[in-house]
Amino acid sequence: MSFILAILAIFYTQSPRAKTAHDVARALEAHYHHTRNMSAVFLQTYKSGGAGIRAESGKVYFSQPGRMRWDYDSPEKKLFLVDGKNVWYYVPADHTASRTSVKQSSDWRTPLALLAGKVNLEKLCGSLKLAPVGEQPASQPPNLTDAAERTSEPGNKVLVCQPRKEDRDAFSEVFFEVNRRDQLVRVTIRQPGDIETEFRFGDWRENIDIAESQFHFEPPAGVAIVDDTSLAGKAP
The full set of domain ranges for the chain reads 18-229
Report DSSP letters for 67-93, one per residue: EEEEEEEESS-EEEEE-SSEEEEEEGG
Over the chain, what is the mean pLDDT?
A: 83
Beta carbons within 8 Å of 213's beta carbon, 6+ residues apart: none
CATH no. of 18-229: 2.50.20.10
**Contact by Cβ (8 Å): 161, 174:** yes
Check residue 132 and report its DSSP letter. -
Q: Report whether pLDDT(127) > 60.
A: yes
185-224 pLDDT tens trace: 999 999 888 999 999 999 999 999 999 999 999 989 889 8
| Mean pLDDT confidence for 102-110 | 73
Tell me, what's the pLDDT at 110? 64
Q: Report whether pLDDT(27) > 90.
A: yes
144-162 pLDDT tens trace: 468 889 999 999 999 999 9
Instruction: For residues 235 and 98, give the distance between their C-alpha atoms in angstroms, rounded to a whole number.
Output: 12
**Contact by Cβ (8 Å): 189, 196:** yes
**Which ranges of 15-138 would DSSP assign to H, the alpha helix?**
21-33, 121-124
Instruction: For residues 219 and 90, give the distance between their C-alpha atoms in angstroms, rounded to a whole number.
Output: 9
Q: Report whether pLDDT(33) > 70.
A: yes
Instruction: For residues 22 and 172, give the distance between their C-alpha atoms in angstroms, rounded to a whole number.
Output: 20
Tell me, what's the pLDDT at 141? 54
Long-range contacts from 167-173, C-beta under 8 angstroms, 24+ separation: 167/126, 170/106, 173/148
Tell me, what's the pLDDT at 209? 94
Tell me, what's the pLDDT at 10? 44
Q: How many CA atoms lie within 13 A of 101 on its CB side?
A: 2
